[in-house]
Structure formats: structure tokens, C-alpha cells
Amino acid sequence: MNSAIFILEDEVDYLDTLKLIVSNAGYQAFGAVNLSDGLRAVDERTFPVALVDINLKYGDPSNRDGVTFLDRLMALDEGTRAVVLSTNPQPQLAAELIAEHGAVGYLDKNLVGEDIKVVTERIESELSQSKIRRFGRADSATGYFERLDESWITNVLAMMRPTGGFEALKGFLNSFCGDLAPLLPPLANTKMLTVLTEQRVALAHFWSKGLGLPIAIAISDHELAAPPASGLEMTSFPVYQSAGLVGAVFTLTGVTRQEFRKD
């Protein structure tokens, strides 16, 4: 399960405090102190929950960079639940941010110093309601792959012959790709989905917003002791096995986020 929490907060000490609270609660904590770094972070990775300060410029009461960040989360439409951070919650502003900018509520900064459970309990509540939209308009990983290249699924079925056929492959991909998704294809599609017949390996290249990394998904009917192609490196992501299929994740070397689609 993706338990990465993002915090957008311009006060460095307060940001560090929140990150420590989040980490001690067993979650992955990520943060940024300004809008540009925040936008870059959500471009690279999907977060089930985000804590967002609206004013990101100390001394400028008119600053609303946090609203721009909320609007970007809305445009991405990945299911991130955004909670606004504020030292002075205002009912009218809260209603505006919820109705027009996709926030799900407020967290009073003043209460955090009094009881850290205010933060952890709110994160737990939002995580329980978070539903990351992993495969866009497709209802499954298989549907997503078919939209990209229907022949790839056909070739995988013909070469691997999973026990249970297409339905087994569908279940395999949904389970295996769940924590990797959302998956963004390369801008150049020539090497996005390939089948290495002699090695009995099917490869799919993506930017994984679940991991925040460029990856190659490898599907085979046997365990892979080494990367099946050049430009790949082993990762610590666990191997997944089901229906006679084996799934492994490799890191793509020498590529950047800019080489993949935006959303």
C-alpha cells in the first residue's frame, strides 16, 4: 500500500516537525517549502494524502500559492486527499477551498503542538478514505495495457500461458502493478512494450508514480536472476508470483521524468 504523505509548508522548522511526526507514525514523509518544488513532487509521485499550507511566502498575507497547488492536484485527479494547514482556520475560506479547490478539510496548526495525535489520527482517517485512481480511464491494469498496445497482452498470453488464461493475467497485473501505479508511458512509444521471445520475458517501460521512478516491469514464467536487457538495474521491489507468472521491477537507467507523459 502506498503510504507516502506529502507536506507543503514554507516554515522549515514546522515542516521538519510534521515530517518527523509522520515518519514516527510509520509513513513515508515527503515535503517542500515552495510551490515549484511541490509541483515537481506531485509530477513525479502520487500521494494518497497531502497536508497543504495556503500561504507559502512569509510576510506576504496575500500569497495563495497553496491554492495553485490544490488546483494542480485537482487537475491530476489521482485521488489525493488534501488537508489544508492553517493557524487561523476561517469557515468561509475553508468552504471555498473545499468547494472550489478540492480540499477535504482543515488541520489547525495550533493543535499540532499540543497533541501530535491530531496529525496521525487525521492522516489515518484520510488514508482510510483515499482511493488512488491507478489506471486512469481503464478499469484494470490489463485494460490500461490494452489501450496502449493490445498485441502486447495477446503476446504475453500466447508466450506465458498463465494458468487461468486472460482472467488470471488480469488478476496478476492488477495485484502486481497496484503499488507501482499510476503508470505513465514514455513520450516515444517504440520501446514502451516489448516481448523478448528467446528469454521468455515481456517488458513494459513506465514512469511509476507509485515509486517516483522510471521502471521496467518484467513478466516471465521463471525468476530472473539478472536484468533481461541493457539499461536496467535490479531493485528491492518484491518479486510477485501468481498463476505461473513471475513479475519483477527494474529501474531504467539514463532516463528522466521529462521523457514520459505528464498524465
Look at residue 128 in the predicted model and tell me its pLDDT.
93
**Mean pLDDT confidence for 118-128:** 93
Q: How far apart are CA 241 and CA 20, in angstroms?
A: 35
pLDDT value at 137 more than 80: no
**Bridge partners (DSSP) listed for residue 241:** 246
| Tens-digit pLDDT profile for residues 12-42 | 999 999 999 999 999 999 999 999 999 999 9
Architecture of the domain delimited by 4-129: 3-Layer(aba) Sandwich (3.40)
The 3 state secondary structure assigned to the chain is CCCEEEEECCCHHHHHHHHHHHHHCCCEEEEECCHHHHHHHHHHCCCCEEEEECCCCCCCCCCCHHHHHHHHHHHHCCCCEEEEEECCCCHHHHHHHHHHHCEEEEEEHHHHCCCCHHHHHHHHHHHHHCCCCCCCCCCCHHHHHHHHCHHHHHHHHHHHCCCCHHHHHHHHHHHHHCCCCCEECECCHHHCEEEECCCCEEEEEEEECCCCEEEEEEEECCCCCCCCCCCEEECCCCCEEECCEEEEEEEECCCCHHHECCC
pLDDT value at 1 more than 60: no
Peptide bond before 91: cis, by omega within 30 degrees of 0? no
| Tens-digit pLDDT profile for residues 36-84 | 999 999 999 999 999 999 999 888 888 899 999 999 999 999 999 999 9
CATH 3.40.50.2300 region(s) of the chain? 4-129
Look at residue 204 in the predicted model and tell me its pLDDT.
93
Looking at residue 145, its amino acid is F
